Amino acid sequence: MSRRTTLQAFGAGLAALALTASACGGDKGATVQGVKLIEKGALTSCTHLPYPPFQSEDKKSGKVVGFDVELIDLVAKRLGVTQKIVDTPFETMKTGSALNAGKCDIQMGGMTIKPDRVKFMDVSTPYFDATQSLMAKKGSGITALDDVKAKKLKLGSQASTTGEDFVKDKGFDPRSFDNSNAELNGLRTGQVDVIVQDDPVVKGWLKDPANAGFEIAANLNTGEQYGFWMRKGHNPELVKMTNQVIAQARSDGSYKRIYEKWIGPMPPSAGGGS
């Protein structure tokens, strides 16, 4: 082997080692209670902002707050660390590439448990039962998804979401928006006539007086459940601890408190304990 080839191989090996160290957090990482953390003293979570009421930036404090945030805070508290939130493109979250690149330890953000996602990532037990809603102007006459087609209305959706997948499977070709705020703005400005979005998100929007002219036109029961996501086969103790925290929160009333703070009255079917 020539010196040039040897040096190339050596350089490639160093690059591979550097990449591996980077993906695992390098010297910054730590192991706490058997849980691997990419950064010492922090449980790093990926999410795609904004997505109220699950996570959004508080206008006054600038902090990211919401339903998912408070549940992950409970996991961080169990570990004796704080939560660090990283705003991440949803496309890299749903494929698991953000986790594989060592960008975060866990992912939150109303991510539906789906077989194709479970192939690439580990997931917690379900922490939220979700449905989709159609949001439109009051008096639109829409009572079902079929009405959108019959009235030849323009439908909008959020890119890479299960809501978008659902309407596409029903034969629609919705206008796709990058995030939930852009989708809502598309409805407000008349770019689309109706949008499909997670029911709690729509209910949160309708609390804003600026959206007083809109309503939930129809509910779409898609049977979805949300989970928290972790790197495949990499952090079994984090999966285990997250499941324990979810179960504990349901039994001790913490889940109900967080649910009613961010979502509203909790139905008995949500199983939130006392």
- Indicate the pLDDT class of residue 269, thresholds 50, 70 and 90: low
Average pLDDT over residues 4-33: 51
Looking at residue 266, its pLDDT comes to 86
Percent of the chain at pLDDT > 90 equals: 77
- Indicate the pLDDT class of residue 19, thresholds 50, 70 and 90: very low
3-state secondary structure of 178: coil
Q: Do the beta carbons of residue 200 and residue 54 sit within 8 Å?
A: yes
d(CA 234, CA 223): 29
Looking at residue 3, its pLDDT comes to 33
Tokens of 253: 């009333």
Q: Read off the pTM.
A: 0.75
d(CA 63, CA 263): 19
pLDDT digits over 21-44, tens only? 334 444 689 999 999 999 999 999
- To the nearest whole number, what is the mean pLDDT of the chain? 89
pLDDT digits over 196-246, tens only? 999 989 998 999 999 999 999 999 988 889 999 999 999 999 999 999 999
- Indicate the pLDDT class of residue 195, thresholds 50, 70 and 90: very high
274: CB partners within 8 A, 6+ apart: 251, 252, 253, 256
Looking at residue 15, its pLDDT comes to 39
pLDDT digits over 72-112, tens only? 999 999 999 999 999 999 999 999 999 999 999 999 998 99
Residues 274, 254, 222, 236, Cα dihedral to 10°? -120
Looking at residue 2, its pLDDT comes to 37
Average pLDDT over residues 251-265: 94
Q: Do the beta carbons of residue 66 and residue 54 sit within 8 Å?
A: yes
Which residues is 47 bridged to in the sheet?
Answer: 87
- Indicate the pLDDT class of residue 252, thresholds 50, 70 and 90: very high
- Indicate the pLDDT class of residue 149, thresholds 50, 70 and 90: very high
Q: Which domains does the chain have, with CATH numbers?
A: 30-127+227-263 (3.40.190.10), 131-224 (3.40.190.10)
Q: Do the beta carbons of residue 87 and residue 69 sit within 8 Å?
A: no
Looking at residue 271, its pLDDT comes to 58
Q: Do the beta carbons of residue 156 and residue 174 sit within 8 Å?
A: yes
- Of 29, 32, 53, the C-alpha closest to 40 is 29
3-state secondary structure of 203: helix
Residues 157, 208, 69, 95, Cα dihedral to 10°? 10
Please say if the pLDDT value at position 273 is more than 70: no
Number of Cβ within a 10 Å radius of residue 43: 28
Average pLDDT over residues 123-132: 94
Q: What are the respective helix, strand and coil percentages of the chain, to the nearest 5?
A: 40, 25, 35
CA angle 105, 109, 111 (to 5 degrees): 95
Looking at residue 27, its pLDDT comes to 61
Please say if the pLDDT value at position 49 is more than 60: yes
Burial class from Cβ neighbours inside 10 Å (0-12, 13-18, 19+) for residue 152 reads exposed
